Amino acid sequence: MSAITLNPLAIAAGLARHRYLLGQLVRRDVLLRYRGAMFGVLWIFLSPLLMLAIFAFVFGHIFQARWPEQREGLPFWLILYCGLIVFNVFGETVSRASAAVRSFPSYVKKIIFPVDILPLVPLGAALVHAGFNLLILAAALAVTGNLSAGILLFPLLLLPVVLLAIGAAWFLAAWGVFIKDMTQIVPLFVQMLLFLSPVFYPASAVPQGLTFLYNANPLGAVIEAARAAAFGLPVSWPAWLAALAAGAVVAILGHAFFQHSRDEFADVL
């Protein structure tokens, strides 16, 4: 039976030992996604740029939407885009996690292969995309005169989302081996979670009767914190730390569940 550990340092050390292999798998995953496309890997840059242009046109010129208590000169579409960068790290990871192990049965049947890194490949690809999105956000903030040093905190503030995504990916990858329907169920869940998180609206706009539900969503705290930092506003560090603790717990439990289930993967696949 596979060894199960709840020690976060041991889990991190195990992943660090296979960082080169994980990096190669992430690189392969990103390159394969754009193989055969006319612009190739340039789509990593072009896709978010086009999306930002559409946001600017639709929300800035057609709807002329405004954020509650939006300060003068800060476009609504940039506020929206900032929240989507955070959410997409989680959304892209978990949407693909349920097939992360099932898609590589030959790896699972190799005794020496570290199967637990397979669910982290979608996360690596999501972080690559987030890096390009962040560069475009910084450029857009500079063009509109809203760039501040707080955006340098953005990568740090993403840490709770990364931990949540890691834990959820381990859970879903294990379930996905036994339940094929997970590949259909999870994207629906992600879509619902998108609208239940403060991406298209601030947490302050949530009715008081539902506030406790939104406070229980660690993604919301990180989205609000990253948005505040990007626009040079104070960050709610207690809420962010609570999200970090929740992310750590989910990651540890997800790893334990994956290790508990992995002995049966080869039999099912």
Residue 32 lies in a domain: yes
The residue range of the domain holding 174 is: 8-268
In a domain, 2, yes or no: no
pLDDT at site 229: 92
User: What's residue 170's pLDDT?
Assistant: 96
Tell me the HSE value of 133 on the side-chain side, using a 13 A CA sphere.
24
Give the model's confidence band at 60: pLDDT under 50 very low, under 70 low, under 90 confident, else very high: low
> In 3D, which of 23, 29, 56 has the Cα closest to residue 44?
29
Place of tokens 């340092």: 9
State the CB neighbour count (10 A cutoff) for residue 217: 17
How would residue 30 be classed by pLDDT, with cut points 50, 70 and 90? confident
Between CA 41 and CA 25 the distance in angstroms is 16
Could you tell me if residue 1 is inside a domain?
A: no
pLDDT digits (tens, 9 = 90+) for 128-155: 999 999 998 999 899 888 888 999 999 9
Q: Does the pLDDT value for residue 65 go beyond 70?
A: no
Please give the span between the terminal C-alpha atoms of the chain, in angstroms, as a whole number: 18
Answer with the residue of higher pLDDT: 238 or 71.
Answer: 238
The number of domains in the chain is 1
Q: Assign 3-class secondary structure to the chain.
A: CCCCCCCHHHHHHHHHHCHHHHHHHHHHHHHHHHCCCCCHHHHHHHHHHHHHHHHHHHHHHHCCCCCCCCCCCCCHHHHHHHHHHHHHHHHHHHHHHCCCCCCCHHHHCCCCCCHHHCCHHHHHHHHHHHHHHHHHHHHHHHHCCCCCHHHHHHHHHCHHHHHHHHHHHHHHHHHHHHCCCHHHHHHHHHHHHHHHCCCCCCHHHCCHHHHHHHHCCHHHHHHHHHHHHHCCCCCCHHHHHHHHHHHHHHHHHHHHHHHHHHHHHHHHC
Q: What's residue 222's pLDDT?
A: 95
Kindly report, residue by residue over 166-220, the tens digit of the pLDDT: 999 999 999 999 988 888 899 999 999 988 888 888 887 888 877 887 788 899 9
